[in-house]
Structure 1
Amino acid sequence: MTEPTESIGKAGQAWGDAEKAEWRSRQHQQRSYADDVVAKIDALRDRFDIEQYGELDYPPEGRFPLYAIRTRDWDDALPTALVTGGVHGYETSGVQGALQFVDQHAADYKGRINLLVAPCVSPWGYERIQRWNALALDPNRNFIPASPAPESAALMALVAPLNDKMLMHIDLHETTDSDETEFRPALAARDGKPFVPGTIPDGFYLVDDSGRPQPDFQRAMIDAVAKVTHIAPADPDGTIIGSPVVAPGVIEYDCKGLGLCAGVTDARFVTTTEVYPDSPRATPQQCNDAQVAAVRAGLEYALAH
């Protein structure tokens, strides 16, 4: 059985290179990016333009090409919407939901909006069912200038030329039970801080950007997803994951200030989805469907407003 992350290093002392190397040595491939993701992207080539926008080089594990899917016959006169998934590689429905949206619904928006979809931003993390990248960095805290996370830097370079046309960005995530049992303790150990237990929301919720809130946009997506899976209630103190609930199923973060993927553009309409795949009330397919419902409702709202 793998030792818990907290056993790495000394309590109260942030990790150095040796501790990070020990952590990385414990991460093992559990699924295939090539089979689960790249094969599905390749199957879309007859309908969409596929772009390799970068490549991760993590020896000895190997190289991981980064792919984006674009609307064919891109029209510079139209606005652009960005859909991202797998910023945290272990969050499966973010990846598969993005791919399902493209396969089943992206063609419906031809002539209305350009779509740019990066379905798996962190393929090393996808294969290892891991929140961090191979450098023990969280890509979703490193969308910052001169980012040390190559996953984040590559995506920023991809979207930068399109920023003035960006109308909407939806970043697809999950909140899992392993956040509390594995990843939050790992974060505390890495940073030499005490672990403070929290709670995991039972259901779907959204994270709006406190710097440019769009409550009606968020509500449109919550209403659509509620037809697919249940919406997370607030904790007794009126919060979800420690943040005040500003509307049913909605909290706010400072996306740019925290270096989150949702802050990577200046789009007017922005959200981060959070599906709860460990709920006994939700199947993996429901989680994928909830991501798709959020994207579709978000697009319709953004185009109408």
Structure 2
Amino acid sequence: MTQQTIYHIGTLNQPWGEEEKSQWFSEQTIKRSYFDDVVTQIERLRGRYTVEKYGVLDYLHNSYPLFAVRSNDWQASKPTVLVTGGVHGYETSGVHGALRVVDELFERYQEHFNLVVAPCISPWGYETINRWNPDAIDPNRNFVADSPSGEAKALIDYVTSLELGLLAHIDLHETTDTDNSEFRPAKAARDGEVNTNWNIPDGFYLVANSANEQPEFQRAVLEEVAKVTHIADADDDGNLIGETLTQHGVIALPTEQLGLCIGFSKAKYSTTTEVYPDSSRTTPDECNQAQVAAVRGALEFLLKQAK
């Protein structure tokens, strides 16, 4: 469905300037605490695993340390798997699912892999329940060289510093009803474009890299997730979020070209998870469990490939 939406900031069909971006920023409020909800959980992992501060984001009203957690017995000879969460800070299960990955999966799989989790890449977005950072920039379109997103640049620099190629990268996301009610209309207004809404899929789905889809890998992830929650069916046009399915529950995008998080890492196996937390058929805990199941499905697939 395509519709002309007049957002409350800006002039129709004209991109935002600094005045409009400042107005947008002034309307954002803190709704929850990154330090209480996330940092405290990360600190509890110290001693069990390696916690590293890989950067700091300094914004007008606050300074946010950025953390990653690495598994024990880190060895260059092991394949390395990266899990990222909270690229869009408002996507709650991406953050808390990533923390549960450390708590529930590291002990089981660290013998076979170097595991590294960055659970909350966009802490200001987490606190204000936002897709963008304070500069009205979407980090998940800016995982590129010389990124204007401090969130994306910090992660790229950190992963580069590990000096190990990645075998796999799983990026944990959600698709929510607010994508249509707030974030897509705001994006269209910011860019001076016509807003195009899509039908929000009821269920879990994956986004693969169209240049390297790895369909068996995607299928293995979905099979594990299906034990926890339902997989999204195609809409009446046979699509998910306006994109053609490559298999049930999977679409593919040119991730590197679009500046998506899984694109920068150039991992052989990569996928972006999409949980639907607004479904009447799931709960917040099941959404977190689905994120863990996705990573577990990926790791089990990789173990089978190594045999």
State yes or no: 1:203 paired with 2:199. Answer: no
**What per-residue deviation string (whole Å, max 9, x for no partner) do you get for residues 55-83 of structure 1?**
00001x21000000011231111110000
Taking the TM superposition and a 5 Å limit, the aligned residue runs for 1:65-214 are 65-162=65-162, 164-214=164-214
SS of structure 1 residue aligned to 2:265: coil
Q: Distance in 2 between matches of 1:104 and 1:228?
A: 15
Q: Distance in 2 between matches of 1:164 and 1:39?
A: 29
SS of structure 2 residue aligned to 1:295: helix
Q: Distance in 1 between matches of 2:133 and 2:148?
A: 11
Check the 8 A contact 2:6/2:12 in 1, yes or no.
no
How far 1:186 moved relative to its partner? 0.4
Q: Distance in 2 between matches of 1:210 and 1:162?
A: 26
How far 1:113 moved relative to its partner? 0.3
TM-score (norm 1): 0.97
Q: Distance in 2 between matches of 1:264 and 1:226?
A: 28
Q: Distance in 2 between matches of 1:122 and 1:135?
A: 12
Gaps of 5+ in 1: none
Q: Which residue of 2 aligns with 1:62?
A: 62
Q: Distance in 2 between matches of 1:204 and 1:32?
A: 27
- Percentage identity across paired residues of the two chains: 56
Check the 8 A contact 2:207/2:273 in 1, yes or no.
yes
Check the 8 A contact 2:76/2:164 in 1, yes or no.
no
Which amino acid in 1 is paired with 2:191? Answer: D
Q: Which residue of 2 aligns with 1:42?
A: 43
Q: Distance in 1 between matches of 2:137 and 2:292?
A: 28
Taking the TM superposition and a 5 Å limit, the aligned residue runs for 1:263-302 are 263-302=263-302
Q: Which residue of 2 aligns with 1:7?
A: 8
**What per-residue deviation string (whole Å, max 9, x for no partner) do you get for residues 22-64 of structure 1?**
00000000000001100000000010101000000001x2100
Q: Which residue of 1 aligns with 2:233?
A: 233
Q: Distance in 2 between matches of 1:62 and 1:273?
A: 30
How far 1:164 moved relative to its partner? 4.5
Q: Distance in 2 between matches of 1:58 and 1:303?
A: 42
Q: Which residue of 2 aligns with 1:51?
A: 52
SS of structure 1 residue aligned to 2:256: coil
SS of structure 1 residue aligned to 2:208: strand
How far 1:163 moved relative to its partner? 6.2
How far 1:281 moved relative to its partner? 0.3
Q: Any runs of at least 4 consecutive aligned residues in structure 1 with deviations exceeding 6 A, and if so which? A: none
Check the 8 A contact 1:5/1:186 in 2, yes or no.
no
TM-score (norm 2): 0.96
State yes or no: 1:27 paired with 2:50. Answer: no
Check the 8 A contact 2:49/2:71 in 1, yes or no.
yes
Which amino acid in 2 is paired with 1:78? Answer: K
How far 1:266 moved relative to its partner? 1.7
1:5–1:105 distance in 2 versus 1, CA, 3 Å: farther
Which amino acid in 2 is paired with 1:21? Answer: S
Q: How many residues align?
A: 301
Gaps of 5+ in 2: none
